């Protein structure tokens, strides 16, 4: 009976036998704690000897009153005052024309953008991200579409803002930038490209090129150009340039889920989770090698979206 329960917990939660035993003990202890007061009142309390002196409620009230007076006399005059915090009133919304590449966090709040979103936009800009068209504002995670509709007609880009932004992404000298712009750009294999090829593209500087290479190497190579949209910090111009020139010409590097180590699996760009990698390895050690994608689907913690992303990189 005990072994069947442990095996059931192991299969259901995808955990090791040791963890399943610990979970079983925890469930038994919780059950005992919940039912102890009920058992005490119904079974043990009636067995206790009767005849104890009745409780004098008046005496208890007088003791409580005396203790309260003693407490107030002890702390009287020490200047302790109860602080009352006023609820912050909502900031009034003021609509005006603005450039999302230059407007400050406080001005974003005046426009009705929540503080956490304004800080998120500021962080996006500090890492090299730029807005080149109005719709780029919706690329900010969790930006409300109804708020965008209100602000859309007030978004005005300065004539030289985007040009300066493009130049500011790369810390090369102006002469080097001009020479780079004059070079003829031809299509290349994104899975074999280095940063020198990526920085030739409009909207991609040295920081973004390193981020693209790091993401690609963590994946084992791109299998589709749609994956460019998953790279943080790329705006519509940079993605359009990648779609135009960065082609997927070589195959990805697959990983054998029956041979890969827990550490290597946790480094994959789509996993990046030591706990998830450990659960997959524990399931493999308990149930044997994975024979197909269906076997991997039995690991409860892997959702369908993650499984679809990982499929092109798996071998059995």
What are phi and psi for residue 255, nearest 5 degrees?
-120, 135
* SS3 label, residue 218: helix
May I ask the CATH class of domain 255-315? mainly alpha
Q: What is the dihedral of CA 284, 288, 293, 294, to 10 degrees?
A: -110
Residue 198: which residues within 8 A CB-CB, separation 6 or more? 204, 208, 209, 212, 213, 246
DSSP type of residue 182: H
**Adjacent-strand bridge partners of 247:** 189
Q: What is the dihedral of CA 29, 31, 36, 41, to 10 degrees?
A: 180
pTM of this prediction exceeds 0.85: no
Provide the CATH number for the domain formed by 169-247 in this structure. Answer: 1.10.150
* Domains of the chain by residue range: 1-33, 105-164, 169-247, 255-315
Given this chain, do its domains 169-247 and 255-315 carry the same CATH topology? yes
What pLDDT sits at residue 80? 53
H helices of 45-144, where?
57-75, 105-110, 115-126
Rounded alpha-carbon distances, angstroms, from residue 99 to 47, 108, 156, 162, 170: 79, 10, 5, 10, 22
What pLDDT sits at residue 206? 87
Long-range contacts of 273-277 (CB under 8 A, 24+ apart): 276/301, 276/302
Specify whether the CB–CB gap between 266 and 279 falls below 8 A.
no
Residue 169: which residues within 8 A CB-CB, separation 6 or more? 128, 130, 203, 204, 205, 206, 207, 208
Local confidence pLDDT in tens for the 316 residues of the chain: 777 887 777 777 767 778 888 888 998 999 888 888 888 777 776 776 655 555 566 777 788 888 888 877 766 655 555 566 566 667 788 888 889 888 898 888 888 899 888 898 988 888 778 888 888 888 887 788 888 888 889 898 876 655 554 554 444 444 454 454 445 678 899 999 998 889 989 888 888 999 999 999 988 999 999 999 888 888 888 899 999 999 999 999 998 988 888 888 888 888 877 888 888 888 888 888 888 888 888 888 888 888 888 889 888 8
What pLDDT sits at residue 82? 59
What pLDDT sits at residue 192? 92
CA-CA distance, 313 to 305, in Å (whole number)? 14
What pLDDT sits at residue 178? 46
Handedness of CA 185, 187, 188, 194 (dihedral sign): positive
């Amino acid at each position: 009976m005990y072994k069947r329960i442990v095996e059931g917990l192991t299969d259901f939660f995808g955990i090791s036998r040791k963890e399943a035993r610990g979970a079983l003990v925890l469930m038994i202890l919780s059950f005992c704690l919940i039912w102890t007061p009920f058992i005490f009142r119904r079974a043990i309390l009636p067995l206790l000897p009767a005849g104890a002196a009745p409780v004098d409620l008046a005496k208890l009230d007088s003791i409580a009153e005396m203790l309260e007076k003693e407490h107030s006399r002890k702390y009287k005059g020490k200047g302790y005052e109860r602080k009352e915090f006023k609820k912050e009133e909502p900031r009034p919304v003021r609509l005006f024309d603005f450039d999302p590449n230059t407007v400050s966090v406080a001005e974003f709040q005046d426009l009705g953008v929540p503080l956490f979103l304004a800080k998120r936009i500021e962080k996006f800009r500090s890492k090299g991200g730029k807005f080149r068209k109005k719709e780029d504002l919706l690329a900010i995670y969790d930006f409300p579409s109804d708020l965008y509709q209100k602000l859309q007609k007030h978004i005005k880009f300065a004539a030289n803002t985007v040009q300066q932004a493009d130049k500011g992404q790369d810390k090369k000298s102006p002469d080097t930038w001009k020479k780079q712009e004059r070079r003829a750009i031809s299509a290349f294999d994104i899975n074999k490209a280095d940063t020198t090829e990526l920085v030739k593209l409009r909207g991609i500087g040295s920081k973004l090129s390193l981020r693209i290479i790091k993401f690609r190497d963590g994946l084992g190579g791109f299998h589709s150009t749609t994956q460019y949209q998953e790279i943080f910090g790329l705006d519509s111009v940079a993605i359009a340039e990648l779609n135009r020139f960065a082609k997927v010409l070589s195959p990805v590097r697959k990983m054998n889920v029956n041979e890969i180590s827990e550490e290597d699996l946790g480094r994959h760009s789509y996993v990046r989770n030591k706990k998830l990698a450990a659960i997959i390895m524990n399931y493999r050690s308990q149930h044997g090698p994975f024979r197909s994608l269906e076997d991997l689907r039995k690991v409860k913690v892997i959702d369908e979206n993650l499984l679809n992303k990982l499929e092109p990189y798996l071998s059995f």
